[in-house]
């Protein structure tokens, strides 16, 4: 046995000997999973006398955070704690939970967010080098809460924890559809709960310019439809985020994606105006003119103001999807390129970016951009955000550029938590050397807002973003998908206490669709359908615009059907084991789907909007009827003919057809079940 294996075995056996068999069996609900965790056998019970003590007391943000945690704990348990607000003047001499933080942390890239948490019969001790680390530990502490017949308790545990990546972000697009300040705040709270630390604020695009600009007021006056954040609101958001250890990085997308800018200042465009705010979705032509000195005077004034408003070290300039059409058609631009030896639009955009970099550097900001800004002649003091794939991230790291990954984390594309969870900024087969891997700062999940509103956006962000947050925080070897889903269900429930609406808006949307009729039959169907994936929704019959209704079944449907996932897994288990319990559970589910179609038809007769999914409801009924035949056939030893198989294959293919931009999420299970006949 070599020394490495011996060390590994010892590291496993020692915790088991210290803490007993429960270490093997105990299934915690923590998300993200800590770096090191060892459970014991005891329990620390709490009652209304529970007290938090903080040392030192002079970190106001930690006092406020701990107070909020105390209130959340009270709300979860119903316990009437005597302690109210923790302040510098609090007079507690001892505590059930003692928090020590050496210093106030700076809300910057790379700040220490580590902590240790120890719970035993004597009490609870949370230690951190900074208050930011204490914030992260307090969220772990809350997730550890358990209940039994005797009341609430925390399990005995020792935790040492620190993040894998220093940049763990969520991008929220408020340009396509404006989002109010309460939406931003509740999602900041959700981010803090799962230890994310960057709010990437996408504030401008073709469909809207969303921040007050006092030096260039036409930007928000003409480019926003009156929907924008004032300076005071931006400061409020930054303060709210910073108090939770979260940076706020603004993005102003240029030189393309700039219709709203050029609505206000058409003289800076690469083609004559006038321009109006774009109401459609896609990639559009309007682009800033990179050869005008007035363009850089404009951005000097603009970035000066924004650099003073936003306190983060980083500022994102976008830089993506410039189709170059206006540049190609502008004779002055073509002449400039020829005279300056600029071969193509990529080099011209590099020229533009370098001019902006000089401005941002003057105002002490570091430039971030989408991977289109990665050009051979760009200085390597910029950060590349990769949305097109691992290739550009790897290439930029190999050339000494810092980078963050977003490819694979586009939550607007309605992919599964499993898909996102198994995507990794530094996969196990990375070609990067250990030194090159240091250039990968982390990743960001992106919530583009073409197809969401304030009513639906939380359901697209959560709970899948919690799984992504674990990928950014936890050891890359933690990849147990089934256990992730188990814990994700628990975290999803806990996130509701922060005001997030990913679950609570579901049934009200269905009630609206039924015109306040009984929603049970519609819910049975909607529970097993999902919106179509990737960008398919834009191509299926409906031309979506900024003013379209986002209140249909496709909007109410969850990105990932947990009912369908359960069914598909039950089918796998039943085919493998042919057990009676699985057969009965599947039979119960399918009987419900058989009966549901006629009930839904009654509701649809009074609600026209539901009729677009009736064919899918009919297909579900037919699939379930066939599934019952298979279950009974397996029990009775019936053999099915080749004609039967051909007919049922046709049913499967017909059932794959989307209706209302939604699709049945159980097709995989039914297809496997049908193929298992005669086995």
| Cβ-Cβ contacts under 8 Å for 47 (sequence gap 6 or more) | 79, 151
Q: What is the largest CA-CA distance in the chain?
A: 83
Answer for the pair 596, 620: CB distance below 8 angstroms, yes or no. Answer: yes
417, 418, 422, 423: CA torsion to nearest 10 = -40
Would you tell me the crossing angle of helices 481-495 and 464-473 to the nearest 10 degrees? Answer: 120
d(CA 31, CA 280): 38
Residue 274: is the preceding peptide bond cis (ω within 30°)? yes
For residue 288, give the DSSP letter: B
Nearest to 72 by CA among 399, 494, 621, 674: 494
Q: Which 8-state DSSP code applies to residue 440?
A: E
Residue 266's Cβ-count burial label (10 Å; 0-12, 13-18, 19+) is middle
Report the distance separating Cα 336 and Cα 332, nearest Å. Answer: 6
Radius of gyration of the chain (CA): 28
Instruction: Report whether 311 contacts 247 (CB < 8 A).
Output: no
Calpha distance 449→251 (Å, rounded): 15
* DSSP letter (8 states) at residue 663: E
> 198 and 217 in contact (C-beta within 8 Å)?
no
Three-state secondary-structure class, residue 73: helix
Catalytic residue list contains 321 = yes
What is d(CA 295, CA 558) in angstroms, rounded to the nearest whole number?
Answer: 44
Region class of 110: left (phi > 0), else alpha (psi between -120 and 50), else beta:
left
**Spatial separation of the C-alpha atoms in residues 533 and 416, rounded to whole Å:** 10
Q: Please pick, among 236, 321, 455, 497, the residue that the annotation labels catalytic.
A: 321
Q: Is 403 helix (H, G, I), strand (E, B) or coil?
A: strand
Three-state DSSP at 152 gives: strand
Contact indicator for 429, 466 with CB cutoff of 8 Å: no
Give the count of beta carbons closer than 10 Å to the beta carbon of residue 155. 18
β-partners of residue 30 are none
C-alpha dihedral sign at 645, 651, 654, 660:
negative
Distance separating alpha carbons of residues 628 and 634, to the nearest angstrom: 10
On whether the CB atoms of residues 500 and 186 are closer than 8 A, the answer is yes
8 Å CB contact between 254 and 288? yes
For the beta carbon of residue 657, count every other beta carbon within 10 angstroms.
Answer: 11
Residues that are catalytic: 321
């Amino acid at each position: 046995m070599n020394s490495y294996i011996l060390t590994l075995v010892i590291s496993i056996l020692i915790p088991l000997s210290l803490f007993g068999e429960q270490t093997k069996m105990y299934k915690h609900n923590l998300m993200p999973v800590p770096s090191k965790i060892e459970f014991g056998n005891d329990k620390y019970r709490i009652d209304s006398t529970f007290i938090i003590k903080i040392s030192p007391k002079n970190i106001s943000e930690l006092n406020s955070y701990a107070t909020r945690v105390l209130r959340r704990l009270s709300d979860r348990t119903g316990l009437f704690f005597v302690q109210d607000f923790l302040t510098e003047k609090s007079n507690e001499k001892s505590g059930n939970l003692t928090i020590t933080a050496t210093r106030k942390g700076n809300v910057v890239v790379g700040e220490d967010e580590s902590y240790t948490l120890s719970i035993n019969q004597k009490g609870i001790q949370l230690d951190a080098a900074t208050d930011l680390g204490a914030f992260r530990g307090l969220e772990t502490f809350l997730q550890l809460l358990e209940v039994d017949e005797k009341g609430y308790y925390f399990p005995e545990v020792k935790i040492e924890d620190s993040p894998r990546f220093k940049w763990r972000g969520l991008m929220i697009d408020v340009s396509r559809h404006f989002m109010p300040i309460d939406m931003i705040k509740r999602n900041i709270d959700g981010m803090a709960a799962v230890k994310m630390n960057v709010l990437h604020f996408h504030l401008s695009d073709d469909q809207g310019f969303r921040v007050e600009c006092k030096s260039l007021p036409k930007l928000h006056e003409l480019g926003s439809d009156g929907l924008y954040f004032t300076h005071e609101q931006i400061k409020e958001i930054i303060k709210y985020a910073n108090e939770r250890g979260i940076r706020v990085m603004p993005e102003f997308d240029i030189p393309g994606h700039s219709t709203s800018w050029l609505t206000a200042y058409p003289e800076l465009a690469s083609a004559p105006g006038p321009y109006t705010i774009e109401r459609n979705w896609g990639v559009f032509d309007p682009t800033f003119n990179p050869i005008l000195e007035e363009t850089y005077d404009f951005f000097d004034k603009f970035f000066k103001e924004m650099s003073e408003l936003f306190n983060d070290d980083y500022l994102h300039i976008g830089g993506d999807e410039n189709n170059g059409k206006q540049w190609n058609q502008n004779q002055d631009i073509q002449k400039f390129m020829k005279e300056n030896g600029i071969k193509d639009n990529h080099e011209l955009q590099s020229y533009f970016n370098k001019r902006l970099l000089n401005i941002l550097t003057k105002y002490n900001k570091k430039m971030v951009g989408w991977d289109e800004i990665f050009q051979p002649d760009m200085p390597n003091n910029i950060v590349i955000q990769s949305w097109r794939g691992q290739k550009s991230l790897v290439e930029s790291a190999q050339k000494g550029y810092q980078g963050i990954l977003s490819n694979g984390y586009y939550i607007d594309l309605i992919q599964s938590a499993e898909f996102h969870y198994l995507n990794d900024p530094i996969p196990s087969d990375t070609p990067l050397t250990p030194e090159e891997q240091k250039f990968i700062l982390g990743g960001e999940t992106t919530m583009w807002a073409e197809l969401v509103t304030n009513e639906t956006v939380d359901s697209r962000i959560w709970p899948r973003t919690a799984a992504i947050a674990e990928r950014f925080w936890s050891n890359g070897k933690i990849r147990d998908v089934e256990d992730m889903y188990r814990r994700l269900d628990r975290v999803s429930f806990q996130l509701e206490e922060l005001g997030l609406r990913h679950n609570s808006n579901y049934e009200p949307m269905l009630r609206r669709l039924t015109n306040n009729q009984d929603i049970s039959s519609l819910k049975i169907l909607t529970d097993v359908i999902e919106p179509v994936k990737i960008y398919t929704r834009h191509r299926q019959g409906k031309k979506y615009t900024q003013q379209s209704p986002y209140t249909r079944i496709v909007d109410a449907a969850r990105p990932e059907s947990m009912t369908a996932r359960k069914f598909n897994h039950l089918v796998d288990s039943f085919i493998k084991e042919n057990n009676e319990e699985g057969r009965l559970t599947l039979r119960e589910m399918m009987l419900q789907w058989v009966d549901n179609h006629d009930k839904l038809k009654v509701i649809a007769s009074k609600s026209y909007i539901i009729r677009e999914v009736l064919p899918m409801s009919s297909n579900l009924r037919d699939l379930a009827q066939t599934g019952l035949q298979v279950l009974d056939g397996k029990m009775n030893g019936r053999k099915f003919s080749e004609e039967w198989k051909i007919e049922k294959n046709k049913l499967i293919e017909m059932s794959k057809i989307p209706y209302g931009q939604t699709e049945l999420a159980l097709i995989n299970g039914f297809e496997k079940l049908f193929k298992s006949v005669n086995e």
